A and B are shown apart, each in its own frame.
Chain A
Amino acid sequence: MSDYILEMNHITKEFSGVKALDDVNLKVKKGEIHAICGENGAGKSTLMNVLSGVYPFGTYEGDILYKGEHCKFHNLRDSEAKGIVIIHQELALSPLLSVAENVFIGNEQTSRKGIIDWTATRRRAQEMLAKVGLEHEDVNVPINTLGVGKQQLIEIAKAMAKKVELLILDEPTAALNDEESKKLLDIMLQLKEHGITCIIISHKLNEIEYVSDSVTIIRDGKTIETLVKGVDDYSEDRVIKAMVGREMTNRYPVREGVEIGDVIFEVKNWNVFHPDDEHRQVLKDINIKVRAGEVVGLAGLMGAGRTELAMSLFGRSYGQKISGSVFINGKEVHLKTVKDAVKNKLAYISEDRKTYGLNLIGDIKENMTIAARPFFFSKNGVINANDEIIAAQEYKERINVKANSINQVVGSLSGGNQQKVVVAKWMLTQPDVLIMDEPTRGIDVGAKYEIYCVINELAKAGKAIIVISSEMPEIIGSCDRLYVINEGEIAGELNKDEFSQEKIMQLIMAHQRKGDGNE
C-alpha cells in the first residue's frame, strides 16, 4: 500500500458546460495536514464536494482512491461511512439543541429499536469534547450559548464521534478571532498526532504556513503545484505567486473615450457595527472617493467587509450604530432607507442575485421595473404598464438578455441572463453611483464580457462605479483605481499603473500583520 491515504486523479467537473474543475490531481499522505490554496472561485470547495459525495459519483470524471480503494460516493453518508468528514464554512449545528445532541446529530446514540440513550449521548459527548480541548464545557446547554470558536471545535468533536480518519475543514477560521484561530489550529496539530489526516482550505497563508505539511495550489480549476514543507520554498510569497501567477488574456473590453470628471461620490469616516453584536465593529473609518466616469474596485478577501460596506451605504441595509457621512454630487445625503438611496441616485447590485436580487417566480419585466417603478413608471401610485413594457423591451435588447420575451419567468433563465436582469433593474433607476457586488459571480465567460461592456457604457455615461470582486484579475482588468479592504479597514489604495495581484496580496498581508502586532 502506498503512503497516500487519498488520491484524487484527473478530476473534471462541469457545471452546464463551464469547467469548474479541469483535470485536478490531489494526493494526501496519511497523517499529514494538507492545505489547499487558491483564489475564491478557483474550485477548492467544488473539489471537496466531489470528494465528500455532495456531487455524487458519475456527475464528475476522474477517479478517487481512498485507502487504496476506488470510491463511488453517492452522498455524504457514503463518505462518512468511510471516515471522511467535511466541515463547511457555515456550521451545520442546530442552534437550540444541546451541545451533546449536536455532537451526535445524524449519528444518534441509540439503544435497541432506535430509542435515544441520553446517558450515553451525554457521556460520549463529554469524551469527544475532551479530544478538542473543551473538557470543561457543559454538554446540556443549547449550542447557541457558546461562541463561534467553540462551535467550530464542536463541529470537530462531531466529526470525531463519526470515527473520522480524513477531516476536511473549509475555511475553519474565517469567522474566528486570532486567539480562537490559534486554538483551533493547535487542536488540528493534536489530531495529527492521533493519526487523523486533515485537509484544510484557507485564505490565511500565515495559518497554512503554521499548521500544514504540504500545500496544493489550485487556480482556475486546475492544480498548479504541490509544495512540501521542508523540501520546497514554503513562504507566503511563494504561495501567492503560485495562486495568482497567470497570464492575463484579453478578457476585458477596453474602455475608450471616457472622461473622468469630478468626485461625485464620497464616503467619510464610515463606521459600522455588527447587526447582532453592538460591540463588534465591522467597518472602521472608511474613506473612499469615486469620480464621474471612474470605475473603482474594492479588493479584499472574503469577509473583509466589502459587502457590509456597500449594504450599509445602501439605505442602511446592514449593521447598526452607523456613523459617518456620504456625499453624492457634492451634497451630503442621509440614506436611511433603500428608497432614500434610490431617490438619491445610488444603486447596489447584490452579490447574491437569487437571494437578494430577484423575484425568481416573477417575469423579466416585473423584476426589471420593480425598483424604478415608484419614480419612473407610475403616477399617483398607478402603474403605467405600457411604459414599463417599452423600457423592459429596450433593456432586454440593449444588454442582450437571452429570453423568449419579457414575460418569461426569471427563474428559468441562465445565471448570466439573470444577472443581466438585475443589472437592468438598477440601470432603470437611473443612478449616478452604482455599486456592483461580484457582478460576474457564477456566470460564463461570454456573459462576463457583456457585463464588462455594460460597466464601460455606464462609465462613458459619466456614472461613478464601484466594483466589488473577489476575483483579482477581474478587479485589475476592469477598474481604474482600487481600494484594498482588510478586516473592515482600508489597507491601501492602488492606481491603475500599480495594479498587480502580488501588490494586492502584499497589502492584505501587511495589514494583517499590523493587526496581529497590535493585539
Chain B
Amino acid sequence: MNNKKVVKIDMKQYGMFFALIAIYLVFALLTGGANLTPMNINNLIMQNGYVVILAIGMLLCVLTGNIDLGVGSVVAVTGSIAGIIMMDMKMNMWVAILAALAVGILTGVFAGFFIAYLGIPPFVTTLATMLMGRGLTYTLLQAQTKGPFAESYNFIGAGFLPSFKIPFGDGTLDVVSIVVAIVASVILVFSEFKSNATKKKYNFAVNPLWQTVLKLAIMLFIIWFFFYKLSRYKGLPFVLLIMVILIVVYGFITSKTVAGRQIYALGGNRKAANLSGIDTNKVFFWVYVNMGFLSSVAGIVLAARNGSATPKAGDGFEMDAIASCYIGGAAVAGGAGTIVGAVVGAFIMGILNNGMSLFGWSTDIQKIVKGAVLLGAVTFDVLSKRKKN
C-alpha cells in the first residue's frame, strides 16, 4: 500500500520572504533601480550587519516573552572600550576585541543576575542598563569621538574577504563569490532533499514536489542575486561572514539543542516548563548573558565600520532589533519565532531605510514608515492567529 503523506507548506512561514522581495521591488521601481546596484547591495549588508547580529540575540529575549532595551548602550560601551584600549593604551587590536567581548558578557551577567535571580522585570532591568551604559560611554569617551582606528581593525567592519577578480562586462567579476554561491546552492538543495528522504524513510508527511521546487527556486534566486551583485563589486564583505556564522550557529542552537528548545518552552508556559524539569532562572540568565555577548560583537563591528568610537554609537539599535524580531514573526508573548525570521525582519527594516534614503526621504519620514510597518506586521500576525482559532 502506498501511503505517501503530503502536507502543504505553511505559506505564512514564507510570507515575510515575499514581503522582503515585494518591498525591495517597490523601491527598485521608485528609485529607478538605484537600489539594485552592486554597491548598494554591498552597503545594505554592511549597514545592517550589526542590526542582524543584535536581532539574533534579541530573538532569544523575545522568545522568553521579554526584550532587552540595553543593547544599543552596550554596543556603545564595548565600542568605546575597544577604542580606548587601542588609541589611549596603544595596545594590540586583539586585546581590544577580547576586552570588548568580556565587557559585553559582563553587562549580560549583570542584567541576567537581576532578571533571573532577583526577579526584577527585564523591562526595568534593561531600561537601567540602557541609561547606565549610555552614561558610561559618555564618561569613558569624555563625550569625544575616539579615532581613527588602524586599518587592520577596521577590516572587521569594512573589509572584504580575499577575492579573485576577472574582467566581466563593463567591470569585474569575483570568482570567489561565485564559488561560494555554488557551494551554498549545492548545500541548500542537498539538505532539502536529504530531509525529504529522511521524512519518507520514517513515513512522515512531505511537501508536494512543486512546492519544494518553488521554495528552492526562490531561495536560490535570492542567493544568486546577492552573490552575483557582490561579485560585481568588491567581493564578499567580512561582516557577511560573521553574519552567516552567527545565523548558522544560532539557528542550530534554537532548533536542535536542548538548551535552545528550553527557551521556547519557557516562553510558551513558564510554569509548565518549571514542572518539566527546566531551570527557568538559568535559561533567563543565559539568554541575557548571550545578549550582552552579541551586543559586544555588534559594538566591535560598528566601531570598525565607523573607524572610530562615538558616544552616540548604537543609539536606538535596541528598537531596530526588537522591531526586526516582531516583523520576522516572533510572538510578542514569547514562545514562537525563528532566527531566520528575525534576520529577514532586520533586512526588511534595512531595505526600507536604504530605499527611502535613496528615494530622498528624510530620516524623520523613515521613522514614520518603519513604525507603520512594524505595527502592520504585528497586527497582521495577531489577526491571522485569531482567525485560526
| A413: interface (CB < 8 Å) | no
Cβ 8 A contact of B271, one of A356, A362, A411: A356
Q: Given A359-B265, A381-B259, A385-B256, answer yes or no on A339-B272 (Cβ-Cβ < 8 Å).
A: no
A355 to chain B: which residues have CB within 8 Å?
A: 269, 271-272
A386 to chain B: which residues have CB within 8 Å?
A: 198, 202
Closest residue of chain A to B269 (Cβ to Cβ) is A359
Cβ 8 A contact of A341, one of B256, B277, B389: B277
Chain A's nearest CB lies how many Å from the CB of B63? 11
Q: CB distance A357 to B272 under 8 Å?
A: yes
Cβ 8 A contact of B277, one of A342, A358, A361, A381: A342
| A323: interface (CB < 8 Å) | no
Q: Given A374-B277, A385-B256, answer yes or no on A361-B335 (Cβ-Cβ < 8 Å).
A: yes
| B374: interface (CB < 8 Å) | no
Chain B's nearest CB lies how many Å from the CB of A428? 11
| A360: interface (CB < 8 Å) | yes
**Bound complex: CA of A341 vs CA of B277, how far in Å?**
8
Stretch of A160-168, A365-373, A507-515 on the interface side = A365-373
Q: CB distance A339 to B257 under 8 Å?
A: no
Q: CB distance B279 to A337 under 8 Å?
A: yes
Chain A's nearest CB lies how many Å from the CB of B103? 27
Closest residue of chain B to A357 (Cβ to Cβ) is B272
Q: CB distance A366 to B269 under 8 Å?
A: no
Chain B's nearest CB lies how many Å from the CB of A376? 11
| A378: interface (CB < 8 Å) | yes
A373 to chain B: which residues have CB within 8 Å?
A: 258, 261
Q: Given A361-B331, A361-B336, A370-B265, answer yes or no on A383-B272 (Cβ-Cβ < 8 Å).
A: no
Q: CB distance A350 to B331 under 8 Å?
A: no
**Bound complex: CA of A412 vs CA of B7, how far in Å?**
18
**Bound complex: CA of A374 vs CA of B274, how far in Å?**
14
Encode B76-118 as 1/0 by CB contact (under 8 A) with A: 0000000000000000000000000000000000000000000
Q: CB distance A366 to B261 under 8 Å?
A: yes
Q: CB distance B202 to A362 under 8 Å?
A: no
9 tightest CB-CB pairs across the interface, nearest first?
Answer: A359-B268, A371-B276, A338-B277, A339-B277, A359-B269, A342-B277, A378-B258, A362-B268, A361-B335
What are 24 pairs between A and B in contact, CB < 8 Å?
A: A317-B274, A317-B275, A338-B274, A338-B275, A338-B278, A339-B277, A348-B275, A350-B272, A350-B275, A355-B269, A355-B272, A357-B272, A361-B268, A370-B262, A370-B265, A370-B278, A374-B258, A381-B258, A382-B256, A382-B257, A383-B261, A386-B198, A412-B389, A425-B276
| B204: interface (CB < 8 Å) | yes
Q: CB distance A381 to B272 under 8 Å?
A: no
Q: CB distance A405 to B7 under 8 Å?
A: yes
**Bound complex: CA of A338 vs CA of B331, how far in Å?**
28
| B227: interface (CB < 8 Å) | no
Cβ 8 A contact of A314, one of B7, B256, B272, B275: B275
Given A370-B278, A373-B261, A374-B258, 8 more A-B residue pairs with CB atoms under 8 Å apart are A339-B277, A342-B277, A356-B275, A360-B268, A371-B277, A385-B256, A412-B388, A412-B389
| A315: interface (CB < 8 Å) | yes
**Bound complex: CA of A355 vs CA of B270, how far in Å?**
9
Residues of B within 8 A of A (CB): 7, 198, 202, 204-205, 256-259, 261-262, 264-265, 268-269, 271-279, 331, 335-336, 388-389
A18 to chain B: which residues have CB within 8 Å?
A: none
Q: CB distance A389 to B275 under 8 Å?
A: no
Tally of chain A residues near chain B (CB < 8 A)? 35
Q: CB distance B257 to A359 under 8 Å?
A: no
Chain B's nearest CB lies how many Å from the CB of A439? 15
A350 to chain B: which residues have CB within 8 Å?
A: 272, 275
A358 to chain B: which residues have CB within 8 Å?
A: 269, 272
A341 to chain B: which residues have CB within 8 Å?
A: 277
Closest residue of chain B to A412 (Cβ to Cβ) is B389
**Bound complex: CA of A342 vs CA of B278, how far in Å?**
11
Cβ 8 A contact of B258, one of A348, A357, A360, A383: A383
Q: CB distance A338 to B276 under 8 Å?
A: yes
Chain B's nearest CB lies how many Å from the CB of A345? 12
Q: CB distance B257 to A362 under 8 Å?
A: no
Closest residue of chain B to A388 (Cβ to Cβ) is B261
B273 to chain A: which residues have CB within 8 Å?
A: 359, 370
Q: CB distance A315 to B277 under 8 Å?
A: yes
A254 to chain B: which residues have CB within 8 Å?
A: none
Closest residue of chain A to B205 (Cβ to Cβ) is A405
**Bound complex: CA of A342 vs CA of B265, how far in Å?**
17
| A390: interface (CB < 8 Å) | yes
B256 to chain A: which residues have CB within 8 Å?
A: 382-383, 385
**Bound complex: CA of A356 vs CA of B331, how far in Å?**
20
* Beta-carbon contacts under 8 Å, A438-485 to B: none
Q: CB distance A362 to B204 under 8 Å?
A: no
Chain A's nearest CB lies how many Å from the CB of B357? 38
Cβ 8 A contact of A389, one of B202, B258, B259, B261: B202
Q: Given A381-B258, A383-B257, A425-B276, answer yes or no on A390-B202 (Cβ-Cβ < 8 Å).
A: yes
A405 to chain B: which residues have CB within 8 Å?
A: 7, 205
A366 to chain B: which residues have CB within 8 Å?
A: 261, 264-265
A342 to chain B: which residues have CB within 8 Å?
A: 277
Closest residue of chain A to B204 (Cβ to Cβ) is A389
B202 to chain A: which residues have CB within 8 Å?
A: 386, 389-390
Q: CB distance B264 to A362 under 8 Å?
A: yes
B331 to chain A: which residues have CB within 8 Å?
A: 361
B275 to chain A: which residues have CB within 8 Å?
A: 314, 317, 338, 348, 350, 356-357
B269 to chain A: which residues have CB within 8 Å?
A: 355, 358-360
Chain A's nearest CB lies how many Å from the CB of B110? 25
A381 to chain B: which residues have CB within 8 Å?
A: 257-259
Closest residue of chain A to B335 (Cβ to Cβ) is A361
Chain A's nearest CB lies how many Å from the CB of B201? 9
Chain B's nearest CB lies how many Å from the CB of A9? 35
Chain B's nearest CB lies how many Å from the CB of A309? 15
Chain B's nearest CB lies how many Å from the CB of A349? 10
A315 to chain B: which residues have CB within 8 Å?
A: 277
Q: CB distance A362 to B258 under 8 Å?
A: no
B261 to chain A: which residues have CB within 8 Å?
A: 366, 370, 373, 383
